[in-house]
Structure 1
Amino acid sequence: MYIIEQTRMISSGAAQAATAANPRNFREHRTHDLAPRGNTLAMSTTALIALTGVVTAGAIWLIVLAARLTRRPRNRPAPSADLVDQALEMKALGQIQEAVFLVRGETGMSHRAASRFVRRL
Protein backbone atom coordinates (compact mmCIF):
# COMPACT_ATOMS: atom_id res chain seq x y z
CA MET A 1 0.00 0.00 0.00
CA TYR A 2 1.28 3.43 -0.83
CA ILE A 3 1.47 6.52 1.32
CA ILE A 4 1.09 9.65 -0.76
CA GLU A 5 3.25 11.93 1.36
CA GLN A 6 7.00 11.61 1.78
CA THR A 7 8.12 9.61 4.75
CA ARG A 8 11.42 9.21 6.51
CA MET A 9 12.71 5.74 6.97
CA ILE A 10 15.75 4.45 8.75
CA SER A 11 17.56 1.85 6.75
CA SER A 12 20.83 0.41 8.01
CA GLY A 13 21.23 3.31 10.42
CA ALA A 14 21.02 6.12 7.83
CA ALA A 15 17.93 8.34 7.44
CA GLN A 16 16.63 8.60 3.90
CA ALA A 17 13.58 10.15 2.29
CA ALA A 18 11.40 7.88 0.22
CA THR A 19 8.19 8.31 -1.71
CA ALA A 20 5.53 5.90 -2.81
CA ALA A 21 6.82 6.10 -6.39
CA ASN A 22 10.07 4.39 -5.38
CA PRO A 23 9.41 0.64 -5.89
CA ARG A 24 12.45 -0.59 -3.96
CA ASN A 25 11.03 0.86 -0.74
CA PHE A 26 7.61 -0.66 -1.32
CA ARG A 27 7.58 -2.77 1.85
CA GLU A 28 8.34 0.19 4.07
CA HIS A 29 5.33 2.06 2.67
CA ARG A 30 2.81 -0.59 3.53
CA THR A 31 0.17 0.34 6.05
CA HIS A 32 -3.33 -0.72 7.05
CA ASP A 33 -6.23 -0.19 4.64
CA LEU A 34 -7.73 3.27 4.94
CA ALA A 35 -5.55 4.20 7.92
CA PRO A 36 -5.61 8.01 8.32
CA ARG A 37 -2.21 9.70 8.35
CA GLY A 38 -2.51 13.35 9.31
CA ASN A 39 -4.31 15.11 6.48
CA THR A 40 -3.79 12.27 4.00
CA LEU A 41 -5.44 8.89 3.70
CA ALA A 42 -3.36 5.84 2.92
CA MET A 43 -5.19 3.45 0.63
CA SER A 44 -4.01 0.39 -1.24
CA THR A 45 -4.06 0.35 -5.01
CA THR A 46 -6.32 -2.68 -5.05
CA ALA A 47 -8.77 -1.02 -2.67
CA LEU A 48 -8.80 2.09 -4.85
CA ILE A 49 -9.44 0.00 -7.95
CA ALA A 50 -12.21 -1.92 -6.19
CA LEU A 51 -13.85 1.28 -4.95
CA THR A 52 -13.70 2.77 -8.44
CA GLY A 53 -15.25 -0.39 -9.86
CA VAL A 54 -18.09 -0.38 -7.36
CA VAL A 55 -18.89 3.29 -7.99
CA THR A 56 -18.76 2.77 -11.76
CA ALA A 57 -21.00 -0.30 -11.57
CA GLY A 58 -23.51 1.63 -9.46
CA ALA A 59 -23.58 4.51 -11.93
CA ILE A 60 -24.08 2.13 -14.87
CA TRP A 61 -26.87 0.33 -13.00
CA LEU A 62 -28.67 3.63 -12.37
CA ILE A 63 -28.39 4.62 -16.03
CA VAL A 64 -29.78 1.26 -17.18
CA LEU A 65 -32.62 1.49 -14.65
CA ALA A 66 -33.54 4.98 -15.83
CA ALA A 67 -33.51 3.85 -19.47
CA ARG A 68 -35.76 0.89 -18.70
CA LEU A 69 -38.23 2.99 -16.74
CA THR A 70 -38.61 5.49 -19.57
CA ARG A 71 -39.23 2.76 -22.14
CA ARG A 72 -41.56 0.61 -20.08
CA PRO A 73 -45.10 0.71 -21.47
CA ARG A 74 -47.84 1.34 -19.01
CA ASN A 75 -49.87 -1.77 -18.38
CA ARG A 76 -53.25 -0.16 -18.66
CA PRO A 77 -56.06 -1.97 -20.37
CA ALA A 78 -57.32 -0.42 -23.58
CA PRO A 79 -60.82 1.04 -23.30
CA SER A 80 -63.35 -1.50 -24.50
CA ALA A 81 -65.99 -0.74 -27.11
CA ASP A 82 -68.72 -0.91 -24.43
CA LEU A 83 -66.89 1.65 -22.31
CA VAL A 84 -66.54 3.99 -25.27
CA ASP A 85 -70.27 3.61 -26.06
CA GLN A 86 -71.25 4.32 -22.43
CA ALA A 87 -68.95 7.35 -22.25
CA LEU A 88 -70.35 8.68 -25.53
CA GLU A 89 -73.92 8.33 -24.23
CA MET A 90 -73.04 10.14 -20.99
CA LYS A 91 -71.28 12.89 -22.91
CA ALA A 92 -74.30 13.33 -25.19
CA LEU A 93 -76.52 13.68 -22.09
CA GLY A 94 -74.19 16.32 -20.65
CA GLN A 95 -72.84 14.08 -17.90
CA ILE A 96 -69.19 14.70 -18.70
CA GLN A 97 -67.88 14.33 -15.13
CA GLU A 98 -69.71 11.03 -14.73
CA ALA A 99 -68.21 9.82 -18.01
CA VAL A 100 -64.74 10.81 -16.75
CA PHE A 101 -65.28 8.91 -13.49
CA LEU A 102 -66.53 5.87 -15.44
CA VAL A 103 -63.44 5.87 -17.65
CA ARG A 104 -61.17 6.32 -14.62
CA GLY A 105 -62.83 3.44 -12.78
CA GLU A 106 -62.61 1.05 -15.70
CA THR A 107 -59.12 1.84 -16.98
CA GLY A 108 -57.23 3.28 -14.00
CA MET A 109 -56.39 6.46 -15.91
CA SER A 110 -55.59 9.67 -14.09
CA HIS A 111 -58.28 12.36 -13.96
CA ARG A 112 -56.41 14.42 -16.54
CA ALA A 113 -56.00 11.51 -18.99
CA ALA A 114 -59.63 10.41 -18.58
CA SER A 115 -60.88 13.99 -19.15
CA ARG A 116 -58.78 14.22 -22.29
CA PHE A 117 -60.13 10.85 -23.47
CA VAL A 118 -63.76 11.89 -22.92
CA ARG A 119 -63.24 15.27 -24.63
CA ARG A 120 -61.79 13.58 -27.69
CA LEU A 121 -64.73 11.17 -28.10
Structure 2
Amino acid sequence: MTLEITSPADGATVETPFTIELKSSEELGAPDTGKDHVHVFFDGNDQEYQVVEGNSVEITDLPAGEHEIDASLRHADHSAAGVETQVNVTVGSGGSTGDSTGDSGGSY
Protein backbone atom coordinates (compact mmCIF):
# COMPACT_ATOMS: atom_id res chain seq x y z
CA MET A 1 0.00 0.00 0.00
CA THR A 2 1.18 3.51 -0.77
CA LEU A 3 0.04 7.04 0.01
CA GLU A 4 1.66 10.24 -1.22
CA ILE A 5 0.90 13.94 -0.87
CA THR A 6 1.51 15.12 -4.44
CA SER A 7 0.61 18.77 -3.79
CA PRO A 8 1.68 20.98 -2.18
CA ALA A 9 5.33 20.01 -2.47
CA ASP A 10 7.46 19.62 0.64
CA GLY A 11 8.81 23.06 1.58
CA ALA A 12 6.21 24.96 -0.46
CA THR A 13 4.68 28.28 0.55
CA VAL A 14 0.89 28.31 0.15
CA GLU A 15 -1.95 30.77 0.66
CA THR A 16 -5.33 29.71 2.04
CA PRO A 17 -7.41 28.33 0.57
CA PHE A 18 -5.21 25.62 -0.96
CA THR A 19 -5.77 22.07 -2.13
CA ILE A 20 -4.01 18.99 -0.82
CA GLU A 21 -3.74 16.37 -3.57
CA LEU A 22 -3.20 12.73 -2.67
CA LYS A 23 -2.15 9.62 -4.57
CA SER A 24 -3.00 6.24 -3.08
CA SER A 25 -2.52 2.71 -4.32
CA GLU A 26 -5.87 1.88 -2.70
CA GLU A 27 -9.28 2.87 -4.02
CA LEU A 28 -10.60 5.60 -1.74
CA GLY A 29 -14.21 6.16 -0.78
CA ALA A 30 -16.65 6.87 2.02
CA PRO A 31 -16.12 4.72 5.11
CA ASP A 32 -19.70 3.41 4.91
CA THR A 33 -18.88 1.86 1.51
CA GLY A 34 -16.17 -0.32 3.08
CA LYS A 35 -13.41 1.46 1.14
CA ASP A 36 -10.26 2.96 2.60
CA HIS A 37 -10.04 6.70 3.15
CA VAL A 38 -7.43 9.20 4.37
CA HIS A 39 -7.22 11.18 7.60
CA VAL A 40 -5.56 14.57 6.97
CA PHE A 41 -4.36 16.49 10.01
CA PHE A 42 -1.80 19.13 10.88
CA ASP A 43 1.29 19.39 13.05
CA GLY A 44 1.00 15.83 14.35
CA ASN A 45 -2.42 16.41 15.95
CA ASP A 46 -4.12 13.20 14.84
CA GLN A 47 -7.08 13.85 17.16
CA GLU A 48 -8.31 16.67 14.88
CA TYR A 49 -8.50 15.17 11.42
CA GLN A 50 -10.52 15.58 8.27
CA VAL A 51 -11.81 12.46 6.50
CA VAL A 52 -10.84 12.55 2.82
CA GLU A 53 -12.80 10.14 0.63
CA GLY A 54 -11.07 11.00 -2.65
CA ASN A 55 -7.82 12.31 -4.06
CA SER A 56 -8.02 15.91 -2.85
CA VAL A 57 -9.28 18.19 -0.11
CA GLU A 58 -9.45 21.99 0.09
CA ILE A 59 -8.01 23.60 3.20
CA THR A 60 -9.70 26.91 3.96
CA ASP A 61 -8.56 27.74 7.48
CA LEU A 62 -4.97 27.28 8.59
CA PRO A 63 -3.03 29.98 10.45
CA ALA A 64 -0.06 31.70 8.82
CA GLY A 65 3.28 30.08 9.63
CA GLU A 66 5.01 26.74 9.29
CA HIS A 67 2.92 23.58 9.40
CA GLU A 68 3.31 19.85 8.86
CA ILE A 69 0.57 18.31 6.73
CA ASP A 70 0.02 14.71 7.78
CA ALA A 71 -1.95 12.09 5.86
CA SER A 72 -2.78 8.62 7.15
CA LEU A 73 -4.40 5.86 5.10
CA ARG A 74 -7.27 4.34 7.06
CA HIS A 75 -9.57 1.36 6.69
CA ALA A 76 -13.35 1.81 6.64
CA ASP A 77 -13.46 1.35 10.43
CA HIS A 78 -10.91 4.21 10.80
CA SER A 79 -8.16 1.84 11.93
CA ALA A 80 -4.69 2.62 10.62
CA ALA A 81 -3.71 0.86 7.39
CA GLY A 82 -0.04 1.36 8.28
CA VAL A 83 0.77 3.99 5.65
CA GLU A 84 1.41 7.62 6.57
CA THR A 85 3.12 10.53 4.85
CA GLN A 86 3.77 14.19 5.53
CA VAL A 87 5.09 17.38 3.97
CA ASN A 88 6.06 20.70 5.51
CA VAL A 89 4.57 23.95 4.20
CA THR A 90 4.53 27.60 5.12
CA VAL A 91 1.19 29.36 5.00
CA GLY A 92 1.84 32.89 3.75
CA SER A 93 0.64 36.08 5.35
CA GLY A 94 -2.66 35.73 3.50
CA GLY A 95 -3.45 32.65 5.60
CA SER A 96 -6.14 32.69 8.22
CA THR A 97 -5.15 33.87 11.67
CA GLY A 98 -8.24 32.36 13.30
CA ASP A 99 -8.55 29.26 15.41
CA SER A 100 -7.69 26.27 13.20
CA THR A 101 -9.73 23.82 15.27
CA GLY A 102 -12.97 24.89 13.63
CA ASP A 103 -16.34 23.96 15.06
CA SER A 104 -17.30 20.97 12.94
CA GLY A 105 -15.69 17.98 14.57
CA GLY A 106 -12.11 19.09 14.05
CA SER A 107 -12.32 19.61 10.31
CA TYR A 108 -10.08 22.15 8.70
TM bucket by the smaller chain? Answer: under 0.3
The alignment's TM-score, normalised by the length of structure 2, stands at 0.20
The alignment's TM-score, normalised by the length of structure 1, stands at 0.18
